[in-house]
Amino acid sequence: MTEHVVEGVSFRTRARAIATTAPLELAAWWAGSRALVLAGAAALHWSRAPRGYFHGEFRSVLAPLTGWDGRWYDEVARNGYLLVSGHQSDVAFFPLYPILLRVVHHTGLSYAAAGILISNLTLLGGLLLFYRLGCAFLPERDARRAAILVAIAPMGFTFSMVYPESVVFAGMALAGLAAVRGRWLVAAAAAAAVTLARPQGALILIPVAAAAWQAWPRLTPRARGLAAGAVAAPIAALAAVPIYTADVLRSPLAWPKSQEAWGRSFRWDGIVNALGQLPARNGTDHWILRDAIFCLVYVLLLVVAWRAGVPRAWVVAGALMVLLPTETGSFISVARFGLLALAVFWGAAVLGRRPLVDWALRIVSVSLLVVLTVTMPLIFP
């Protein structure tokens, strides 16, 4: 009996130690990785090179983090939506992130500073939520390792840009964790929010639905209604977008029309066309190859996650997150979209169970994070 008590105390002490050290360790990796990204942005500002597609983005130390899509989110936050038929327009960008920019801007910050603050702080919260979610599926060490790998992900410089990636990542982790714990109202709110930040966020429906299905037999009638609401929330959020654009822009199809101008219309043979671009553009646009390689790596890591017993719903959602964009006929930005395939990082964490592999993953990830940050002006994130 005495021995059992001692073991029980030891177990509780260890659990408390883990609960204390894990957030501190994740915060340290977050701070270190963000410092590297901010230093990379500063280096771009001071060197004014490589210029690539950048122009005014070198005007201040943090300006490189406002480029690319950040300029469009800034425009929506300032002036709202405007659909220009046949031309690239800001309707392609979903509304939640510009709303957040506008809210934080009212505190006195510039839109650029507001976006960078939102993205970086939300990432920290997202890492902690992702760690808690991972603990529901995997050993604690794997969950912690997966969160660290998110912090230092090679394309993770976009988590510090005026982009909604951090918001979507954190929201997906929150929705998944809330669903696992049976907190359906929180799951519904988070699932709707991520969908309004990025349309791909609607894929959170799959793991939320899986959690609801698994819990269904033991739920009360009221809880079943709330669980069904959480599953329906992303669908309702998607449906709200054409209703809004019909009212404001007199066009319920404003978003798909704008996507066509951005070259993002879906086609049945999209993946075939995407693969066909690789030899055609080899030597002229090696960045397409970059995204194709990331796509392959993500798929392989999802296979590892599947074989390791990560819930199938998360793996399926991750696979769709990575592969659906290729149905538009291009691999462009798949490397960034894969950051929102949460199961990718669980697969990487499983690979890292061997210390040598773990440190190799960390060194390679940090190195690529630095390289991709300082080459940001050369190609779309």
Please, what are the averages of pLDDT over each run of 10 residues along the chain (381 residues)? 45 62 96 98 94 88 94 94 81 95 96 97 98 96 98 98 98 98 98 97 98 97 97 97 90 84 74 74 70 96 97 98 89 94 98 97 98 93 90
Q: Is residue 236, in this structure, part of any structural domain at all? A: yes
Which pLDDT belongs to residue 55? 80
Which pLDDT belongs to residue 286? 67
One-letter amino acid for residue 261 of the chain: A
Q: Which residues contact 141 (CB under 8 A, 6 or more apart)?
A: 353
Which pLDDT belongs to residue 1? 38
Q: Is residue 8, in this structure, part of any structural domain at all? A: no
**Cβ atoms within 10 A of the Cβ of 164, count?**
29
Which pLDDT belongs to residue 267? 73
Q: Is residue 11, in this structure, part of any structural domain at all? A: no
Q: How many independent structural domains does the chain possess?
A: 1
Which pLDDT belongs to residue 254? 84
pTM value? 0.94
Which pLDDT belongs to residue 7? 45
> pLDDT, tens digit, for every residue of 35-75?
999 999 999 999 999 988 888 889 999 999 999 999 999 99
Could you please report the per-residue DSSP string of 227-274? HHHHHHHHHHHHHHHHHHHHHHSS-TTHHHHHHHHTT----TTHHHHH
Which pLDDT belongs to residue 292? 92
End-to-end Cα separation, the chain, in angstroms = 60
Which pLDDT belongs to residue 365? 98
Residue 273: left if φ>0, alpha if ψ -120 to 50, beta else—which one?
Answer: alpha
Q: What is the span of the domain harbouring residue 269? A: 22-378
Which pLDDT belongs to residue 2? 41
Q: Is residue 1, in this structure, part of any structural domain at all? A: no
Q: Is residue 87, in this structure, part of any structural domain at all? A: yes
Write b or e for each residue in 252-284: b if 16 or more Cβ atoms lie within 10 A of its Cβ, otherwise e. Answer: eebbebbbbbeebeeeeebbeebeebeeeeeee
Distance of CA 341 to the CA centre of its chain: 7
Q: Which residues contact 256 (CB under 8 A, 6 or more apart)?
A: 265
Q: How far apart are CA 65 and CA 115, in angstroms?
A: 9
Q: Is residue 7, in this structure, part of any structural domain at all? A: no
Q: Is residue 259, in this structure, part of any structural domain at all? A: yes
Sign of the CA dihedral with 225 first, then 228, 234, and 238 last: negative
Q: What tokens does 80 get?
A: 């709202």
Q: Is residue 2, in this structure, part of any structural domain at all? A: no
